[in-house]
Structure 1
Amino acid sequence: MAGLPQKGFEVSFDENNQEFSIVGSMRPERTEDLADCIKLFQTSARSVRGTLYVNVKRLVRLNNIAFRVLADLMVVACADHSGLRISVITSSVVGWSTRKFSSLRAVNDNIQVEQYDADFYPGQSFVEDSDIIALLRTQTKLTWRHERDLLPKHGLKAGMQVADICCGIGDFAVLLSKEFEPSRLVALDHSKPSLAYARTVASDFGIGGIEYIYGDAAEMLLEDDQFDFVTCRHSLQIFDRPERILKELFRICKPGGRVYVTNEKNSHCLGEPRGESIQWTYNEVARMLAHFNHDIEIGPKSRRLMLDTGFSEVRMESFMVTNMDGDPQDFADIITAWRDLFAGKMTQLRGDDEAFVSRFRQGFDDHIFAALHAKGYAGWPIWVASGTKPL
């Protein structure tokens, strides 16, 4: 990896991945100000066979001088090096970059632009469905009964600088704000509709001061070592490359701070009576989500993933959300929403036949029956893991 810090930005070249990266704000006054960048790009292009990836996912600003220099470098490189292809990797979070760099495709067919997060979040359409908002609020209502007591055991204290990454509809951030009064609270999500709803939730509860940020959890435009405590709940399980998210959580956490994640192992959902039907359905839920590149079984794997990322002092435990956590109807409402999503839209997308859908749906109905039965028991297990970023 070759890297060059510049005024306001940094450029680097990863030879193993054939990736030339630019991070920061690139606003030179003269072309000469980019001399080192130009030299590294030219050297990089000469060393590549096949495709040179130009990563601008975290390039937050770019003036016309810099764009002309980069455009000329790419066009000339494709002309001078036979067979060279250039793929410019952008992100929807930095909206202008895709539009601006796409103009180069008309200049040279060997220059392509790929908005990487269009495919990175294969389940985004499911979690942004407006029908799921009520489900998410009910889930948080039931999990908060447990997490309110667990969070201090995992290192959260009043007055800390806190980030809630993949904050979704923002209800957990509001509860954090009310209960722990952080000195700073940033809530980031990749869904604009969810963030809009989050602001409404905060307003409804009279909570001010939460910094809502539209961002990509795998390429956050947040600086290193900012937060004492970072949370990311029920999110690693819906991304096809959770290790990328964990690396970013690690990066923005202060040395000595902690990162807290929660995830599920959906096949361990249970209920009685009708336990056999319930177990079959949740085993199938895990298989279905794997089809859509989700790992809803990731919960017990969290410790290994955190240690592999570089965290120390990893603490791990689990708790069971049940029909006895308050009103059993709340639990039943969660399962009803799962049934309508999994045995509805997702079976249609996967192309399941009527016999499968009928049996699949029955397991959810039986879980609802168990939750509401006078002598029944229904459970949904959650795994909690937290780790320290070493000093």
Structure 2
Amino acid sequence: MSTYTVRFEDNNQEIIFAGVMRPRQTKELDDVRDVFERALTRVSGTLNFNFKRLLKANNVAFQEMVSLFTSVSKRRPELKVRVIVSSVVGWAARKFKIVGAISPNIQVEQYDQTFYPGQGVLENGSFISILRTQTKMTWRHERNILPRHGMAEGKEVADICCGIGDFALLLHKEFKPKRLVAVDHAKPSLQYARKVAEEFGIKEVEYIYGDASALLLDSNQFDFVTCRHSLQVFNKPELILKELFRICKPGGRVYISNEKNSHCLGEPRAASIAWTYEEVARLWAHFEMDIELGPKSRRYLQDTGFDDIRMESIMVTNLDGDPKDFADVIQAWEDVYAGEMAVKRGDTPEFISRFRQGFQDHIAAALHPKGYAGWPIWIASGRKPL
């Protein structure tokens, strides 16, 4: 049974497929050929075939797609064909990888291998320790903040870029949602999340491997959508917000949190600490990520189309419970930022030594009996208009 859609977008010169394509005969794909013919008369340079949301296709459909690619080479030899697949939709990544051998004009791109520049660092498991310790610090704030942004019992909730899933488990425990779906693109994080949920005997959270910029979730199905500490990781956060908007029900809310890391502070040794976190911001910018995004949240939400925007900031500090928790967060930052990212950027040993010292000074401030250490976070939410 076929339940698919196909459309052509002029702006991106892109034919976009979605759904399930299982025709018994090629004549059932006349609509695909019509879209293709229309596209062929309007494109120049490169014609893109986007399969990021085509969940399934049988051999009849696959062979028809291949014939369309090859017909471009024959009818418009000056055109290039770009076939876009995603690891999230496994069949397409497997089957289309051989298509590039048909013609030098056909390029197959598994786009989510490089869909944001810092992906290799952030998805290899290094961030698990950061995510685990951060949530310990932020939850004592967020459990009280969430109701002000529309969270309540009995809602259908999606936690996008869920990381290791600890926030989703806390939502489940505190607010008892009717349904809770948690999505992430990092397989090590999802494996960890499923393991923890199993250990606690929690079966109600649906953990899904997915791409936040092309979610395999239906439109208008969630009352409350969260995306925490994640827009700052993507070089095109507007694409993520567009998807959060799409899956949210009219009248529902999208809740985001992001940082401005250069505003991290500490006493004593304030100058060393300030220098290091300004360098953190530059380091992230090198990988085209924006850890300064927090105060920009209102603009991003407005530009996406949300209304009734609510925004507030919190300062997570060493006074929020055990100061050792905060010291653990800072140590996790040092391990990844100075240990892996700075090395990958090619920083000198002298720079890395000074960089590390600022983190150690921040730890000292957090643990000092008269010290103070702070980490600012901006929280914002917007309503999808009715």
Aligned to 2:116: 121
Question: Taking every aligned residue pair, what percent have the same amino acid on both sides?
Answer: 62
Tell me the residue number matched to 2:311. 316
- Residue of structure 1 in register with 2:241 after alignment: 246
Residue matched to 2:159: 164
Q: For 1:130, what is the secondary structure of its paired residue?
A: coil
Distance 1:305 1:234 in 2: 14
Is 1:33 aligned to residue 31 of structure 2? no
- Alpha-carbon separation, structure 2, partners of 1:42 and 1:77: 10
CA contact (8 A) 2:124 2:186 kept: no
2:56 and 2:91 in contact (8 A); partners too: no
Residue 225 (structure 2) aligns with:
230
**What does the per-residue CA deviation read over 1:366-390, in whole Å, with 9 as the maximum and x for residues that have no partner?**
1011001110000001100000000
Q: Secondary structure at the residue paired with 1:60?
A: strand
Within 5 Å, give how 1:56-135 maps onto structure 2.
56-135=51-130
Residue 179 of structure 1 is matched in structure 2 by 174
Residue 304 of structure 1 corresponds to 299
Q: Show CA shifts across 1:112-137 (max 9, x none).
A: 10111111132233233434323311
CA drift of 1:46 comes to 2.8
What amino acid is aligned across from residue 381 of structure 1 in structure 2? Answer: P
Q: In the TM superposition, what are the counterparts of 1:197-236 in structure 2 within 5 Å?
A: 197-236=192-231
Q: Any idea what SS the aligned residue of 2:375 has?
A: strand
Structure 2 SS opposite 1:378: strand
Q: Secondary structure at the match of 2:214?
A: coil
1:353 maps to which residue? 348
Asked if residue 330 in structure 1 is aligned to residue 294 in structure 2, the reply is no
- Which of the residues 228, 231, 252 maps onto 1:257? 252
RMSD: 1.2
Candidates 290, 302, 308, aligned match of 1:295: 290
Separation of aligned partners in 2, 1:130 and 1:7: 38
Q: Which residue of 2 aligns with 1:191?
A: 186
SS of equivalent residue, structure 1 residue 164: strand
Letter in 1 for 2:309: V
Q: Which moved more, 1:234-243 or 1:348-357?
A: 348-357
SS at the partner of 2:127?
Answer: helix
Q: 2:373 aligns with which of 378, 387, 390?
A: 378
Once the two structures are TM-superposed, the CA of residue 362 in structure 1 deviates from its matched residue by 1.1
The range that moved more, 217-226 or 106-115, is 106-115
The residue that corresponds to 1:51 in the other structure is 46
Q: Deviations over 1:315-372 (max 9, x none)?
A: 0000011000111011011111111211111121111112211211111111011001
Opposite residue 109 of structure 2, the aligned amino acid is E
Structure 2 residue ranges without an equivalent (≥5): none
SS of the residue corresponding to residue 207 of structure 1 reads coil
Match of 2:252, SS state, is strand
Q: Which moved more, 1:102-111 or 1:299-308?
A: 102-111
Supply the distance in 1 between the matched residues of 2:230 and 2:29 (Cα, whole angstroms): 39
Cα distance in 1 for residues equivalent to 2:125 and 2:18: 34
Deviations 1:57-100 (A, max 9, x none): 11111111111111112111211113111000111101221221
Whether contact under 8 Å (1:46, 1:81) holds in the other structure is no
AA at the equivalent of 2:378: W
Letter in 1 for 2:180: L
Residue by residue over 1:247-298, the C-alpha shift from the partner in whole angstroms, topping out at 9 and shown as x without a partner, is 0000000000000000000000000111111001100000011001110000
Where does residue 143 of structure 1 map in the other structure?
138
**1:204 to partner: Cα distance:** 2.3
Tell me the SS of whatever aligns to 1:120: coil
Tell me if the contact between 1:98 and 1:113 (Cα under 8 Å) persists in the aligned partners: no
* Aligned equivalents of 2:313, 2:117: Cα separation in 1: 27
Match of 2:339 in 1: 344
Tell me the TM-score normalized by structure 2.
0.98
SS state at 2:97 partner: helix
Distance of 1:152 and 1:334 partners within structure 2 = 26
Q: Gapped runs of 5+ residues in structure 1?
A: 1-5
Paired AA for residue 378 in structure 1: A
Using the alignment, how far apart are the partners of 2:23 and 2:305 within structure 1? Answer: 36
